Copies of this chain bind each other. A is one copy, B any other.
Amino acid sequence: MSKLVIVGTVAFDAIETPFGKTDKILGGAATFIGLAASYFNVDTAAVSVVGGDFPQEYLDLLSNKNIDISGIEIVKDGKTFFWSGRYHNDMNSRDTLITELNTLADFKPVVPENYKDAEVVMLGNLHPLVQTSVLDQMETKPKLAILDTMNFWMDCALDDLLNVIKRVDVITINDEEARQLTGEYSLLVAAEKIQTMGPKYVVIKKGEHGALLFHKDQAFYAPALPLKAVFDPTGAGDTFAGGFAGFLAKSNDFSYENMKNAVIFGSTLASFCVEKFGTERTQNLSNQEVHQRLLQFKDLTQFDIELA
């Protein structure tokens, strides 16, 4: 089993969907990633920053999942990063209503001493210089560095982003972002181009259409589980990344073949995430229900054509 370091936001979200709305609830990339990874019981540290307004119960929630929170700085007189958004009826697009960076504006990540030799590093969506700082603090080169990012950084910090992309093994990115980053419409060609930028593995997330894993001339496709309703997509991508990273850290096998399984685990955990608001559904997942859903993924994808 590997140790896992996660950097990302720990935040308040306020969400409106066609199904209802929330007050400020627990959110943030590192939160979703951490909760998903905690399913695999790996030694995990979250590196982030919150304000004095951040409830102890939320920190306890992470601690109780055996996530080391000593790397979550608490700025007593600061406020926690807050995002508010409203999803459209199709749940595939959303408007950001509020973004308050607050303490995140001056965030200087500090990796806990006993995690500077972690084998797996998951760089959640943040300014690429923050992601770079985490890599710089690692005393031994991670066996697997995974980076998530978004179009915002392509628009306003492209050089920094390209510099950190150069240093990671895996990138997770959505389809439109892959197209923006490369100027290529074909995801296959986009993934080829991204591999020349550094990452040997490219994961392209397509929301309700699933996710693709690319490596050299190989491709693997994990569908999203067809669901009766997507209640709240917030955090689904991070939950996917957390499941992906957590599974790989647990199995300590970073081969392409095993990454296929990691993509399936990521999709499985993400399929739970969207069933309720925020972290509600992924806070408590039993082995049995995850196992059950993995069986659904098998039924959904496995076929039996005889090929000599």
A interface residues, Cβ below 8 angstroms from B: 89-91, 185-189, 191, 206, 209-210, 212, 214, 218-221, 223, 226-230, 257, 260-261, 264-265, 291, 294-295, 298-305, 307
Contact = CB atoms under 8 A, between A and B. Distances in A.
Nearest to A300: B221
Given A186-B228, A210-B223, A223-B210, A218 B264 contact: no
A295 B219 CA distance: 12
A220 B300 contact: yes
A295 B306 CA distance: 10
Contacts of A228: 186, 188-189
Contacts of A189: 228-229
Nearest to A305: B261
Contacts of A210: 209, 221, 223
18 contacts: A89-B185, A90-B185, A187-B226, A210-B221, A212-B226, A219-B226, A219-B299, A220-B299, A220-B303, A221-B226, A221-B301, A260-B303, A260-B304, A264-B303, A264-B305, A294-B307, A295-B307, A298-B305
- Of A214, A264, A302, A303, which is in contact with the most chain B CB atoms at under 10 Å from its CB? A303
Contacts of A223: 210, 221, 223
Contact of A257 (B187, B206, B304): B304
Nearest to A209: B209
Given A291-B307, A301-B302, A301-B303, 13 more contacts: A91-B185, A186-B226, A186-B227, A191-B226, A206-B209, A212-B226, A214-B226, A220-B301, A221-B223, A261-B305, A265-B305, A298-B307, A301-B301
Nearest to A204: B226
Nearest to A219: B226
A292 B212 CA distance: 20
A150 to B, nearest CB: 21
Nearest to A184: B228
Contacts of A261: 303-305
A236 B305 CA distance: 22
A300 B264 contact: no
Contacts of A221: 210, 223, 226, 300-301
A185 to B, nearest CB: 6
A262 to B, nearest CB: 10
Contacts of A187: 226
A291 B305 CA distance: 10
Nearest to A258: B304
A300 B188 CA distance: 13
A183 to B, nearest CB: 12
A229 B188 CA distance: 9
A265 to B, nearest CB: 8
A51 B303 CA distance: 43
Nearest to A296: B219
